[in-house]
């Protein structure tokens, strides 16, 4: 689920891009509790039992609003959340790009030898562990939490060190 999605099929000027009408109406918000509820119901009805939830910045951080607000305030509070599991889709490039104070060029590579890159990655994993990994609906494999890390093909530098440090902090 991408919580940035405003719904419908309009371009930036509000013009319809298709003659089709989504079942939730011409325009809807992914942060509307009734939309979240319905999406979970449809998923379960069609055999989907887990969601990958995009995460970009912590609540209150970022240039563009945080999807963490919708995750915490609507998705995790949906009355039917017990029907699905979920995992974080960690959009690390957007995390770096949207966080004020971080002057990191994410193109063409994200360099883990830069302290701000390394430290942000480790900080975020410690945050995920504290805030989300204990959630009974959080997706695990063999008791270990699952995270989908986006754009790893563009990572270079001390990624292995940051992953090890993140694991160490999470296990604490």
Distance CA 18, CA 111 (A): 41
**Residue that the structure tokens 């509070």 belong to:** 77
Query: Residue 21's pLDDT is what?
Result: 77
10/168: higher pLDDT: 168
Task: Tell me which of 18 and 39 has the higher pLDDT.
Answer: 39
What proportion of the chain, given as a percentage, has pLDDT over 90? 68
Can you read off the two tokens belonging to residue 103?
């002057």
Taking only the tens place, the pLDDT of each residue in 111-125 is 999 999 999 999 999
Question: Which residues does residue 54 pair with via DSSP β-bridges, in sequence order?
Answer: 89
- Each residue's pLDDT tens digit, 77-96: 999 999 999 999 999 999 99
- pLDDT score, position 166: 96
Give whole-number Cα distances, 143 to 11, 81, 147, 157, 171, in Å: 43, 20, 13, 29, 12
Considering the chain, what is the average pLDDT of its residues?
89
Q: What is the 3-state secondary structure (H, E, C) of the chain?
A: CCCCCCCCCECCCCCECCCCCCCCCCCCCCCCHHHHHHHHHHHHHCCCCEEEEEECCCCCCCCCCCHHHHHHHHHCCCCCHHHCEEEEEECHHHHHHHCCCCCCCCCCCEECCCHHHHHHHHHHHHHHHHHCCCCCCECEECCEECEEECCHHHEECCHHHHHHHHHHHHHC
Average pLDDT over residues 86-112: 92
Decide the pairing of beta strands 140-141 and 144-145.
antiparallel
pTM: 0.86
- Of residues 4 and 154, the one with the higher pLDDT is 154
């Amino acid at each position: 689920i991408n919580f940035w999605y405003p719904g419908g099929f309009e371009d930036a000027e509000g013009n319809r891009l298709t003659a089709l009408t989504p079942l939730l109406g011409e325009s809807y918000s992914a942060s509307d509790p009734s939309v979240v509820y319905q999406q979970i119901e449809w998923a379960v009805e069609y055999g989907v039992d887990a969601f990958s939830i995009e995460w970009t910045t912590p609540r209150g951080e970022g240039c563009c609003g945080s999807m963490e607000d919708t995750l915490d305030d609507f998705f995790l509070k949906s009355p039917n959340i017990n029907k699905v599991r979920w995992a974080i889709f960690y959009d690390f490039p957007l995390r770096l790009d949207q966080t004020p104070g971080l002057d990191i060029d994410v193109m063409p590579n994200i360099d883990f030898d830069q302290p701000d890159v390394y430290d942000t990655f480790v900080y975020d994993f410690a945050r995920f562990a504290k805030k989300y990994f204990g959630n009974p609906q959080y997706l695990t494999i063999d008791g270990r939490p699952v995270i989908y890390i986006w754009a790893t093909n563009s990572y270079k530098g001390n990624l292995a060190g940051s992953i090890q440090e993140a694991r160490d902090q999470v296990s604490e």
